[in-house]
């Protein structure tokens, strides 16, 4: 098996989304996954991406298998609640649940891409604005991992949640945007891009990838800008790291249908060696480019050629966009 394939599958599950059945059995509700659920139904498990909080108060996507049940979306949200068993499992990874203890999903409907979620009052038991923002975004990002959910409306005890106790203001319809925003004062003339950096739990037991929103100047070539920002590395104090050498140049980025070709200068090979570092280098590039709409696979080049990276990663074929990220069992 080519080392290119090994490198990427070690850190990411490259699988096809197929799964799950309906939320609740009430009339008018829609399954979050549509009808493609036979295979997962037979297995009685559903592979799901959850958003938890790390030691730096950043949201982290984590892939876990959960038992298939009627109301799989409700079950997904219940896995975000601070319960003893879930908290203990996440602690070993250096993570924690984003929703307060005692939070219950009172009700949920999905219609025309909008998920309406009604929480119990415990949802509001958060100490500060950062915790509130993380709780809200964890719900939105976890639910929108389901293909039939694009927007989320939050309620507490049957009433629309407009503002949280610590000041977090909510729109009526929430979407995936601005996860782990680096600088909230960057100016209104900037546009957001999502970059992926590496993080490791304080005990060194779990290494994973974290999406970060960085605001940049508008550009006709945002993919190239994103790679250049990725090379600059993460903002200090966020507990994140990058292995791409800072003197690496992005020589060009082109897109042909669903494939992107990214061409780097020879300096990219000077990351210091090591199979793990090479995996991280490749994965952060693929994950970052995969955030752009329509990108399904990425071809990497060095000085315009498809060769081999120092540890053996083959660059002779496109690398698929991952369907899942950060397996909890690695």
How far does the chain reach from its first CA to its final CA, in angstroms?
21
Give the chain's mean pLDDT.
87
The strands making up 159-160's β-sheet, listed across from edge to edge, are 105-111, 114-119, 151-156, 159-160
Whether the CA torsion 210, 211, 217, 221 is positive or negative: it is: positive
Gap between the Cα atoms of 30 and 268, Å rounded: 47
Gap between the Cα atoms of 79 and 228, Å rounded: 36
- Does residue 167 register a pLDDT over 70? yes
3-state secondary structure 253-303: EEEECCEEEEEECHHHHCCCCCHHHHHHHHHHHHHHHHCCCCCCEEEEEEC
Task: Identify the band that residue 187 occupies on the pLDDT scale cut at 50, 70 and 90.
Answer: low
- Does residue 34 register a pLDDT over 50? no
Q: What is the mean pLDDT of residues 58-85?
A: 93
Q: Which residue has the tokens 């696979």?
A: 297
Q: Which residue has the tokens 């993919």?
A: 223
How high is the pLDDT of residue 1? 43
Cβ–Cβ contacts within 10 Å for residue 111, how many? 11
Answer yes or no: are the C-beta atoms of 176 and 188 closer than 8 Å. no
How high is the pLDDT of residue 230? 98
Task: Identify the band that residue 273 occupies on the pLDDT scale cut at 50, 70 and 90.
Answer: confident
Gap between the Cα atoms of 126 and 103, Å rounded: 11
- Does residue 77 register a pLDDT over 70? yes
How high is the pLDDT of residue 43? 61
- Does residue 27 register a pLDDT over 70? no
How high is the pLDDT of residue 69? 80
Q: What is the mean pLDDT of residues 261-285?
A: 95
pLDDT tens track for 87-143: 999 999 999 999 999 999 999 999 999 999 999 999 999 999 999 999 999 999 999
pLDDT tens track for 294-320: 999 999 999 999 989 999 999 999 999
For residue 188, what is the enclosing H or E element? none
> What is the separation of C-alpha 110 from the centre of its chain, rounded to a whole number of angstroms?
22
- For the chain, the structural domain boundaries read 20-160, 190-320
């Amino acid at each position: 098996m080519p080392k290119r394939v090994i490198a990427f599958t070690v850190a990411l599950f490259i699988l096809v989304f197929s799964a799950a059945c309906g939320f609740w059995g009430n009339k008018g509700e829609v399954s979050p996954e549509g009808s493609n659920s036979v295979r997962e139904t037979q297995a009685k498990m559903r592979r799901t991406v959850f958003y938890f909080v790390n030691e730096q108060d950043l949201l982290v996507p984590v892939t876990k298998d959960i038992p298939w049940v009627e109301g799989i979306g409700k079950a997904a949200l219940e896995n975000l609640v601070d319960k003893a068993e879930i908290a203990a499992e996440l602690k070993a990874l250096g993570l924690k649940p984003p929703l307060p203890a005692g939070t219950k999903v009172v009700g949920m409907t999905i219609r025309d891409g909008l998920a309406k979620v009604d929480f119990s009052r415990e949802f509001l038991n958060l100490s500060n604005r950062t915790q509130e923002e993380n709780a809200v975004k964890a719900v939105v990002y976890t639910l929108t991992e389901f293909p039939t959910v694009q927007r989320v409306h939050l309620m507490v005890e049957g009433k629309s949640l407009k503002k949280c106790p610590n000041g977090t203001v909510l729109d009526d319809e929430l979407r995936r945007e601005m996860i782990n925003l680096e600088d909230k004062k960057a100016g209104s003339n900037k546009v957001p891009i999502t970059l992926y950096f590496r993080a490791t739990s304080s005990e060194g037991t779990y290494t994973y990838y974290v999406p970060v929103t960085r605001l940049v100047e508008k550009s006709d070539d945002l993919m190239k800008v994103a790679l250049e920002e990725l090379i600059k590395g993460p903002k200090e104090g966020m507990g994140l790291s990058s292995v791409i050498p800072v003197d690496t140049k992005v020589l060009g980025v082109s897109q042909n249908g669903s494939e992107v070709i990214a061409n780097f200068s020879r300096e990219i090979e000077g990351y210091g060696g090591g199979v793990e570092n090479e995996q991280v280098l490749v994965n952060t590039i693929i994950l970052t480019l995969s955030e752009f709409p329509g990108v399904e696979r990425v071809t990497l080049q060095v000085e315009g050629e498809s060769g081999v990276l120092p540890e053996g990663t083959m660059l002779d074929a496109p690398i698929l966009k991952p369907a899942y990220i950060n397996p909890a069992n690695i």
